[in-house]
A = this chain, B = another copy of it.
Amino acid sequence: MKIELTPIGIIHSPFKEPEDMPIQPAGAAGVKGTVEVFEEFHPGLNDLDGFSHIFLLYHFHRSRSFNLQVVPFMDSETRGLFATRAPKRPNPIGLSVVRLDKIEDGLLHIQNLDILDGTPLLDIKPYVPEFDAPLEVRTGWLEKAGKTVSSQKSDDRFK
């Protein structure tokens, strides 16, 4: 069974190439960008401006293949792909929580984005802590690495 998706917009960011971009929104504090939602979908944006944070789902459009064993940016050991956020995945869908500053004519002004310029947008969902923020969380191999994520940059290993 195949599932077919169609972009509903385009994400604009200062990151023109995969190298040297922050690897997660937490490492992209203050980075500003916009999400251009195609006009036919504008009515779906009503009420979204009440939310300070949103999930963006997008297509990792530079990903052409994947490997089930990867060495993540924040580690030196090989890990299972699904225990990482690496962009090259069987279904190359990216997920980021970003800050929503304002919406003007279908253009979302966002902050803290870790997304490549020109990335096709697939969906927007409101971020709701009661749904999305569990308590008492363990983060495996990232437990130590996570503390340094805000200063970590990507490199060319997922090119």
User: Which residues of A line the B interface, CB within 8 A?
Assistant: 1-8, 24-26, 41, 43-53, 55, 57, 59, 68-69, 79-85, 89-91, 93, 95, 97, 99, 112, 120, 122-134, 136-143, 146-147, 149-150
What are 10 A-B residue pairs whose CB atoms fall within 8 Å in the complex? A2-B6, A3-B5, A3-B6, A4-B4, A5-B93, A44-B68, A45-B80, A47-B80, A82-B123, A126-B139
Is there an interface contact between B125 and A82, defined as CB atoms closer than 8 Å? yes
Q: How many subunits of this chain does the assembly comprise?
A: 2
Is there an interface contact between B93 and A123, defined as CB atoms closer than 8 Å? yes
> By CB atoms of chain B within 10 A, which of A3, A124, A143, A147 has the most?
A3
How distant is the Cα of A48 from the Cα of B59 in the complex, in angstroms? 23
Is there an interface contact between A2 and B2, defined as CB atoms closer than 8 Å? no
Query: Chain B residues near A52 (CB, 8 Å)?
Result: 134, 136-139
How distant is the Cα of A93 from the Cα of B6 in the complex, in angstroms? 12
How distant is the Cα of A133 from the Cα of B129 in the complex, in angstroms? 8
A80 CB contact (under 8 Å) in B48, B89, B133, B143: B48
Q: A73 to chain B: closest CB distance in Å?
A: 12
Q: A15 to chain B: closest CB distance in Å?
A: 17
* Apart from A45-B83, A97-B133, 13 more pairs, CB < 8 Å: A1-B6, A6-B90, A44-B68, A47-B80, A48-B80, A50-B139, A51-B83, A57-B93, A82-B125, A85-B126, A93-B122, A95-B95, A130-B149
